Every structure is written in C-alpha cells, then in structure tokens.
Chains A and B, each alone.
Chain A
Amino acid sequence: MPISSPHKPLLVLLLAGFLAALLSVSIGSTTIGFEDTLRVITGSGTELQQTLILELRLPRTLSAFATGGLLAVAGALMQVLLRNPLADPYVLGLSGGAAVGALLAMLAGAAGFLVSGSAFAGAMLATLLVFGLAHGSGSWTPSRLLLTGVVVAAGWGAVITLILAMTPASRLPGMLYWLMGDLSHAATPWPGLIILVLVCLMVFPLGRALNVLARGSLQAAALGVSVRPLEWSIYLMASLLTATAVTMAGSVGFVGLVVPHMLRLVLGNDQRLILPACALAGGTLLVLADTLARVVIAPEQLPVGVITALIGVPTFLYLLYRSR
C-alpha cells in the first residue's frame, strides 16, 4: 500500500537479516554459541573466536548478504522495466556474458581478481550488446528488449557449452562451481554492499515514477514521467547490480526472481517499499542459503546456487500454481 508506513515491514526484515547473519557467523566447523558470538561482535571474546568470526566468517556472510540483496533489487527493477512479474536479473543474458568472461579467464589459467574482473567485463559487454540491439531501427518496447535478451542469452549459453567442451577435465569442477554460483571465492563484500546501499538510496526518489511506469509507458508519459531516460537508467542500474553480484559469487539463480515476487504478494507493489525490502530479504535469504551450503555436507561445501535453486524452484512453482 502506498499510504501505510513502510517502516514496520522493513524493520522486521532488518531484524531477520541481523539474526540470519548471527546464525551464519556462529555456525561452521567450530560452532560458537549465540552469547559468545554477541560478545565477539561487541568487541570482546577470545582471540580465536575473534579471528574465526570477524576475519573468516563475517566477510563471507556479508558477501552473501550483498549478493542476495543486489540480485533481488536487480530482479525487482527488471520486472518493472519489462512490465513482467516473471523477469529476473539474468533474463536479458547478463549472467551468460559474465560466465563467458569468467570461464575464458579460468581457461587461460587465471584466478581470483582476474576471473572477477573478466566476469564483470563480460556482464557489461552483454548489457551493452542487448541495449544496442534492442534499440534497433524502431521503437524500444519491453517485448523487443525481452526477445533480444533471451536470444542473446541463448547465444551465450552456446559459447559456455563450447568453452566447457574444450576445457581439460581437471579444470571443470571450478568452472561448474562458478556457473552454479559459489561464495567461497568472494574476495571482499564492501564494493557490493556499498553499491547496494547507494542504489537503494538512488532508487527511492524514483520509486513513485517506477510505480507509474509499471502501469505501462504511455500511461506513465501521460502522468509526466520521462519514460525513456527512466527506462535507460533502471536498465543500467539493474545491470550494474547484477554484474556486481555475478562478479562476487557467479550466477546464483532464483533469488532475483523469487524474492521480489514473494514480497509483492505480501507487501503490495509500491516500489518505494519493495526495493529496500528486496535488498533486506534477498540478503537474508542468501545468508541462510549459504549457511546451509556450508554445513549440509561439511567439511565439503555445496555451491550456494544449488541451495537457492532447490528452495527457489518449488517455491516459485507453488506461487505460480496458486496465482490467479
């Protein structure tokens, strides 16, 4: 509802996020009690506990939170852009571009920062490619953008298969983990968190214009929205968010689709509420999924994308089945 105060649901989600983060940093190879965890966070506790939580687990938890939040906000923006509640951050082929970038770097024997940088470059290349092609010689309609994105994504899929087919077997597992989405290589959470907070602040004044845009571009124009610049900026913003997330954690699926969709069912469709709620709920969900991914077959780890897909697919099918 546009009228009701947005603070209450956001506070609840913030609390849930905080609890999930607490849980996530206390569970692991050595489980630390809740009280000890709180003690470490407030600045005391033993040195071992401090190292374990602040240096090993907290960065990963924050990375998970940032990735989930980025993807959920990007998904919500894409849904408004395409006027389609079933769109997700990858629908326009962005993850395919990032994957090709990352896999090529891995194939060349690179690791760490080079893989991330190459993924980011691939994601931005995919964005520009779809953007340029969808513009075409005619008008820039959501269906044209969607079709362009879907076909370009199929092209990336073919290139990914080609790279995998050419890769020596010993290098395949790393690539497959990357493709499924994996947080164990996330270097630092800060760029992601900063971009997430910045975009949430930038999007707030655009929120009502996005609400109007969701009613169609002509209606929005008739109500005084400068449709084209708004569409371009949300496309670029969603792409930047997704590229950042993909760079941190590979292509984690379903967060960007399921989180905005579920929140809309509960909170309505006011973007001024939905977008910050997506940041919090998406982050929380991925923190929980990553915690599961770390402990299910410990000491081995699952790629977090497997968990989100295993939770996401049935949830989404259920929502779709129930929807009118």
Chain B
Amino acid sequence: MTRLTTEALIIDIPGRASGVPLNLAIEPGQVWGVLGPNGVGKTTLLHTLAGLREPRSGQLLLDGTPLRDMRRKIVSQRMGLVFQDRQDGFPATALETALIGRHPWLSPWQMESGEDLAIAERALEALDVIHLKDRLVNTLSGGERQRVAIATLMTQSPEIWLLDEPTNHLDLQHQTAVMKLLRQQAACDRAVFMCLHDLNLAARWCDQILLLYPDGQACWGPARDMLVTSALESLFGQRLLSAELDGFPVFVPG
C-alpha cells in the first residue's frame, strides 16, 4: 500500500500566478477525478505528480520519502501514468506495447519471462484487446490504442495509477468497463488519480474530486461535496441543469 502526498505543491505553468498550493493525500482505495477547463494544467499536474516535471515549489512524498530523492526505477514500480498522447514512431504490436510495462521490474540483463508475458496477456484480456495482440498498434483505432495504453499500465502494475483522460476515444461500453476496472483496482487498495472531462463519469465513479480553476485556484474533497452545480458552473463558465438518478448526480448543459 502506497500513498502519495503533496506538500504545498504549486505546479509550474509558465506565465501563470501560483494560486492555491495543493496539499493532497492520495490514499490507497481512493478514486480521484480532476476536473477543469482546457489548459488549466490537468496534464501538467499529472506529470508533476509522476515526477516527470519539476514543480514550481512544494514537494511530493511517496510513503513519506521525497520523490526527487528516489530512483526512477523504484518510483516506476510504485506509480505509473497513462499519457494523453502517445508516440508510435516505430511499429510495435499490442502485446509488445503492453509488455514494456514490465520494464521497471526487470534487471538490465533479464529477458522477459513467460510470467511477464502472462501478466501482459491478462492485462490485454482485462481491457478487451487480447484479440488484437499481434496487430501493430499504429493500425488500431483510437479507442483500441487507448485500451492498449491502459493495459500497459496494468502490466506495470503500480500501486498508484495516474491516468490522463482514460476514457478518451472510448465508446460507451468501454468507458464503463474501464471505469469499473479502475474501481476494482482501488478496491484492491490501489489509488487511482485521473483527469476527466465528463462530469457524469466523475460523479458516477470517483469518490474524491479536485477542481482546478484557470486562475490557479483549486479545491478538493469528497465527490458529494465538490460536485455542486454552482461550483461546476463557475468552473466551466457554462450553465448546467442537474438531477439525481439512482443516487448519483447527473449534469447536462442548460
């Protein structure tokens, strides 16, 4: 069980005021959703949390140890990230792509074993792309590629899952399947932290919400406290209608 905490974290977005420092505690079992308009810094926040970008100030602690003092290999065994954009410069099959998730777990001289292969295949199966395992990734559709990317993270099998818009390009059925999978991971004492654009997915599946405002302001807390129509209206600059269905709030543009 691993927890990621941020102490007075201010992400570095050039030309923007520092705003509110983030003191987040991302605990095992939680599913976080980050909401905010385009360009507000959701991706920058994820990259900063993953240790891929320096924050402007503040620090990150992984189980109490400052992230910048840890070896990248150890960090990547505990924390993984699904990117929004992917680079497919060289052709690779879906199976090969998922298999690179084992990289943090292997020594330089080790070849992937049958067990690593089985882990990758189980992940492709969980994401419903096992039938595409020998296809080249650059010939797959956007949604299929997205699922292969999530399967890569599942193969990496970290304790903390960071995902940048994991439902991008996914059809309704697979959006639901992916969200269910993420909830299952949280139920196994992992922490999930993702950026989303769909308020209703956030309302249905996230238990913690972080709202990021364009001027650097931010607020966070349990989903039921955060998903308030007036707060979301000012966040997106868009009038909203809301209702409650089966105990979950639902929002549509007004």
Q: A215's contact among B73, B76, B100, B111, by CB below 8 Å, is which? A: B100
Query: Which chain B positions have C-beta within 8 A of A218?
Result: 47, 52, 83
Any B CB within 8 A of the CB of A105: no
Chain B nearest CB, measured from A311 CB (Å): 24
Q: Which of the 9-residue segments B102-110, B199-207, B223-231, B241-249 touches chain A?
A: B102-110
Q: B99's contact among A2, A85, A226, A269, by CB below 8 Å, is which? A: A2
Assembled-state Cα–Cα distance A218/B117 (Å): 24
Query: Which chain B positions have C-beta within 8 A of A224?
Result: 71-77, 103-104
Any A CB within 8 A of the CB of B166: no
Any A CB within 8 A of the CB of B101: yes
Chain B nearest CB, measured from A82 CB (Å): 9
Assembled-state Cα–Cα distance A104/B25 (Å): 64
Chain A nearest CB, measured from B31 CB (Å): 20
The 0/1 profile, CB within 8 Å of A marked 1, for residues 34-75 of chain B is 000000000000010010100000000000000000011111
Any B CB within 8 A of the CB of A225: yes
A212 touches B103 (CB 8 A): yes
Query: Which chain B positions have C-beta within 8 A of A209?
Result: 103, 108
Query: Which chain B positions have C-beta within 8 A of A324?
Result: 139
B100 touches A211 (CB 8 A): yes
- Chain A contact residue count (CB 8 A cutoff): 31
B96 touches A1 (CB 8 A): yes
Any A CB within 8 A of the CB of B131: no
Query: Which chain A positions have C-beta within 8 A of B93?
Result: 1
Interface residues of A in 194-233 (CB under 8 A from B): 204-206, 208-209, 211-212, 214-216, 218-219, 221-226
Assembled-state Cα–Cα distance A215/B87 (Å): 6
Residue of B nearest to A323 (CB): B91
Chain A nearest CB, measured from B66 CB (Å): 17
Residue of A nearest to B97 (CB): A215
B87 touches A219 (CB 8 A): yes
Assembled-state Cα–Cα distance A218/B76 (Å): 12
Query: Which chain A positions have C-beta within 8 A of B74?
Result: 224
A222 touches B87 (CB 8 A): no
Tier of interface size on chain B: 35 or more
Query: Which chain B positions have C-beta within 8 A of A219?
Result: 83, 86-87
Any B CB within 8 A of the CB of A57: no
Assembled-state Cα–Cα distance A264/B83 (Å): 26
Chain B nearest CB, measured from A238 CB (Å): 17
- With A83-B87, A85-B90 as contacts: A223 and B100 at CB distance below 8 Å: yes
Chain A nearest CB, measured from B203 CB (Å): 29
Query: Which chain A positions have C-beta within 8 A of B112?
Result: 2-3
Any B CB within 8 A of the CB of A44: no
Any B CB within 8 A of the CB of A174: no
Any B CB within 8 A of the CB of A268: yes
Residue of A nearest to B101 (CB): A223
Q: A205's contact among B47, B103, B109, B139, by CB below 8 Å, is which? A: B109
- With A222-B76, A268-B96, A269-B91 as contacts: A216 and B86 at CB distance below 8 Å: yes
Any A CB within 8 A of the CB of B156: yes
Residue of A nearest to B73 (CB): A224
Any B CB within 8 A of the CB of A84: yes
Chain B nearest CB, measured from A5 CB (Å): 9
A214 touches B90 (CB 8 A): yes
**Can you give 30 A-B contacts (C-beta < 8 A)?**
A83-B87, A84-B89, A85-B90, A205-B109, A208-B103, A208-B106, A209-B108, A211-B100, A212-B100, A214-B89, A214-B90, A215-B87, A215-B89, A215-B97, A216-B83, A216-B87, A219-B83, A221-B72, A222-B50, A222-B52, A223-B76, A223-B103, A223-B104, A224-B72, A224-B73, A224-B77, A268-B91, A269-B90, A269-B91, A324-B139
| A residues neighboring B (CB under 8 Å) | 1-3, 79, 83-85, 204-206, 208-209, 211-212, 214-216, 218-219, 221-226, 264, 268-270, 272, 324
Give me 19 other A-B pairs in contact (C-beta within 8 A), A2-B96, A215-B100, A221-B72 excluded. A1-B93, A83-B87, A208-B106, A209-B108, A212-B100, A215-B88, A216-B83, A218-B83, A221-B52, A222-B80, A222-B83, A223-B100, A223-B101, A223-B156, A224-B76, A224-B103, A225-B72, A226-B72, A269-B96
| B residues neighboring A (CB under 8 Å) | 47, 50, 52, 71-77, 80-81, 83, 86-93, 96-97, 99-101, 103-104, 106, 108-109, 111-112, 117, 139, 156
Identify the 10 closest CB pairs spanning chains A and B, nearest first. Answer: A224-B76, A216-B87, A205-B108, A224-B73, A224-B104, A83-B89, A223-B103, A269-B90, A222-B81, A224-B72
